[in-house]
Amino acid sequence: MATTAAGTSIESAADHAERVGEESSGWYLYGITRRGPPATVLMEAQADPADGGVADAPGGAASLELLECGGLAAVVRRVRMADFTPAVLQERLRSAAGLEAIVRGHNRVVEAVHAHQAILPARFGVVYAHARDIQSALRSVCDSLLPQLHRLEGCDEWAIHLYARRAVVRERVVAGNPAIARLREEFTAASPGRAYFLERQLREELEGATRQAMVTLAQGAFDCLTAAAIAGQVNPIGPAVDSAGEVEILRAAFLIAREDAERFDAALCSVADASEGLRCECSGPWPPYSFAVVDTEPAQ
């Protein structure tokens, strides 16, 4: 059974498509949630106060619907299959503004549902040819997805970027590493010939010790923040050094229970204050994209 944003039960989507001759239509999947969210959830996800609706949403003006199976419900919208062929998607990728608008429409729906109850977000661009394919997929994973939804209920994702000033870390390494401090002193007093070899040795030792010091700082920060979270995930970091001499040493996402938000904020302050030369950026709350992604291949 499918439920529209207005809360009306409708016939099987596959049967409906065959009856009205809409063989070219399919179903765009936003995510999986628990069965039976109130109709107001879909209505809020359907419209955005800023632009009045779904102009930039995948599927255009079609209503959001729920395809239910067991204890799960797929949040979907009817779309034209022709709009999601590989060739069309490649063309959209060439337009940054167009792609951004469509992704924003996808995220808006996920965020609206997330504000009311847990949702497992689908990857952007997942389209099924038939409603029965989605319901079949739900039936096969119901036992595994329901515990995931229970785990994510009342939780948000927070993202952090931790930066270190390389020069500050390097000087701290020199001050706290007797071997490097001794090499620096020897280099200062050495003859030109010996200074050449000492400089090379000093540079290599200092670079290795600085890298290790930043790894240690990043691991300590991650451990501190994970202690205040349900789960944490390390992500690939950005470019090595920016114009201010900073290097990103940690990029991570954390799953935080809403009642623990203040505790996590305190842990963030502790990380930022733990060592001179550190700077932390945090963003959120977000739906749990890093911890709950539905990655099912559509059967088209």
Q: State yes or no: cis peptide before 288, omega within 30 of 0.
A: no
**Residue-wise pLDDT tens digits, 229-265:** 999 999 998 766 666 688 999 999 999 999 999 999 9
Domain that holds residue 253: 156-286
Question: Are residue 198 and residue 55 in the same domain, yes or no?
Answer: no
φ, ψ of residue 63 to 5 degrees: the values are -75, 150
Question: Are residue 138 and residue 260 in the same domain, yes or no?
Answer: no
For 109, the enclosing helix (H) or strand (E) is helix 96-114
Separation CA 230–CA 155 (nearest Å): 9
Q: Which of 128, 46, 134, 124 is nearest to 89 (CA)?
A: 124
Question: Are residue 6 and residue 149 in the same domain, yes or no?
Answer: yes
Question: Are residue 27 and residue 117 in the same domain, yes or no?
Answer: yes
User: Are 41 and 55 a contacting pair, CB within 8 Å?
Assistant: no
Tokens at residue 287, please? 């739906």
Q: Which of 153, 184, 204 is the last residue of a domain?
A: 153
Quick check: is 205 in a domain? yes
Question: Are residue 257 and residue 168 in the same domain, yes or no?
Answer: yes
Question: Are residue 76 and residue 31 in the same domain, yes or no?
Answer: yes
Separation CA 172–CA 274 (nearest Å): 14
Tokens at residue 207, please? 């670079």
φ, ψ of residue 12 to 5 degrees: the values are -50, 130
Report which listed range, 57-71, 200-214, 218-232, 233-247, is most confident.
Answer: 218-232
User: Are 137 and 120 a contacting pair, CB within 8 Å?
Assistant: no
- Residue of 186 and 286 predicted with greater confidence: 286
Q: What is the pLDDT of residue 159?
A: 96
Quick check: is 296 in a domain? no
Question: Are residue 170 and residue 80 in the same domain, yes or no?
Answer: no
List of residues 6+ apart from 125 with CB closer than 8 A: 58, 84, 89
Quick check: is 250 in a domain? yes
The Cα angle at residue 120 between residues 116 and 122, in degrees rounded to 5: 120
Question: Are residue 263 and residue 146 in the same domain, yes or no?
Answer: no
Question: Are residue 70 and residue 178 in the same domain, yes or no?
Answer: no
Quick check: is 298 in a domain? no
Quick check: is 292 in a domain? no
Running DSSP on this structure, what letter comes out for residue 37?
A: -
Amino acid present at 215: V
User: Are 288 and 152 a contacting pair, CB within 8 Å?
Assistant: yes
Amino acid present at 158: W
Q: Which of 236, 98, 218, 230 is nearest to 152 (CA)?
A: 230
Question: Total domain count for the chain?
Answer: 2
Q: Which of 120, 136, 153 is the last residue of a domain?
A: 153
List of residues 6+ apart from 21 with CB closer than 8 A: none
**Residue-wise pLDDT tens digits, 129-186:** 999 999 999 998 888 899 999 999 999 999 999 999 988 998 888 787 777 777 776 6
Q: Which of 109, 138, 153 is the last residue of a domain?
A: 153
- 99-113, 168-182, 209-223: least confidently modelled range: 168-182
Question: Are residue 132 and residue 194 in the same domain, yes or no?
Answer: no
Separation CA 77–CA 177 (nearest Å): 61
Tokens at residue 203, please? 């540079």
List of residues 6+ apart from 147 with CB closer than 8 A: none
Separation CA 31–CA 75 (nearest Å): 6
Question: Are residue 40 and residue 168 in the same domain, yes or no?
Answer: no
Quick check: is 183 in a domain? yes
Question: Are residue 103 and residue 204 in the same domain, yes or no?
Answer: no
